[in-house]
Structure 1
Amino acid sequence: MDEKTVKLSLRGVSQSYVVGDAVRDAIVDISLDVYDNEFLVILGPGQCGKTVLLNIIGGLERPIEGDIRLDGRPVVGSHPRITMVFQKLALMPWKTVMQNVGFGPEIAGEARRDWFLEAQKCIDLVGLNGFEKSYPHELSGGMKQRVGIARAYASDPEILLMDEPFGQLDAQTRYAMEIEIQRIWQQERRTVVFVTNNIEEAVYLGDRIVLLSKWPARIKAVYEPDLPRPRNMTDPRFLAIRKTIADNMDLAL
């Protein structure tokens, strides 16, 4: 990136839970800047605390310590400029693709014509033109993920949080969706914070990769792949970065 403007900053963010008779740390002293229009990947082993961190950024949890700021201003709780895409999309089965995508703007009080046009734009963005009247049960897994992404974009977020969105897809569909989310990000240029436990996915997508340790999560290393896009997973440079990260990544609990 030629110019780096801090969009989101985390300082000393920690989270703990009471488990039985003990207090168990989940994340410890996370300090991190996320830049405007950056595709930042948070990578770590399974059950290390990645989702906890993303939930805190998205306002679903409050940390026991630390400070989160958006454009320099404190963020407490959920924020309308931050939207989240979950692995389990929870699409409303009784609503069509158009109705699912337009749900946010609709409940926000936008006139039908306005939310309909915004939803159509986002449906076109994710390549689902022609499926506006389809219901979730009529869609493949990859198509459902596209609906989830379109729904997130329809709320016009400045920051898009993605929690292992392709984790339940088969390998071929997952790769296709990685290509798609990169295309959408390059077209729309929103700030994306993407959580994964897949090293190859992280190197393929990330401007920067923040590697977390095993539970409790701490920042272990930060990588910045110097590779042109679209990235070639068989490129020796790609494989070298992948190996460097793999050698440094903790085993899952």
Structure 2
Amino acid sequence: MSELKIICFGDSVTRGVTFTGGRFKIIRENYPVLLQRLLGSGDKVINKGVFNDNSDLLVERVDKDVLQLHPDLVLIGIGGNDCNFHWDQVALLPEEEHVPIVPLSRYLENMKILIEKVNSIGAVPVVLSLLPLDPVRYYQSLMKRYSHSIGHWISYCGGIEHWHGMYNRALKDFVRRTGVPTIDIRSAFKRKGSFSELINEDGLHPSAKGYRALAEIVSTYIPELRTRVKQHA
């Protein structure tokens, strides 16, 4: 098999959301588009990223958005919204305990379900690590949108980088134990340049340069994954 049908399945980073001038917008040069360009017309790359999705929502739409399209390769990039918080509630009740939107145990169970479903149609699932974030700019963005009271909660309960790192480590251990193909975009992204150039002002979403870096990272794994697809067929 020389041609691949690749589905990029995930959240706003897959969709191509960026944040500039205090507004979210979708850029045309997102990572699936750039990946398609790098691979050429022999392969087909399909973008199935949705803004603000988490692993619960991916499980709900995997049949329609992935399985029914009969892909060869599914790049699963999810987790940043799972380990995030309902910041409006944190701002309202900064003295209370708050838990991530999708608890870690359910996040890992969702990943297991997604992988099993992709495997069930003979496609190859590939898990992308969480993209790194810029916590300082993220908190600045949050406090502009909500309230400085979240700063008290963050200092008391640990910042988002604590939760982000925890989920990523758990995901890394999960793929190691299960043998699922993975792309460590987190480490590779950090080697691509400074966060001020690769991550936008919200501290979460890639800049145009960041999306190019992400596509380049993923593209370097495609030859190896192409071989795995052939073996899997």
Q: TM-score range by the shorter chain?
A: 0.3 to 0.5
* Bigger share in strand: 1
Q: Please give the TM-score of this superposition, normalised by the length of structure 2.
A: 0.32
* Bigger share in helix: 2
Q: Please give the TM-score of this superposition, normalised by the length of structure 1.
A: 0.31
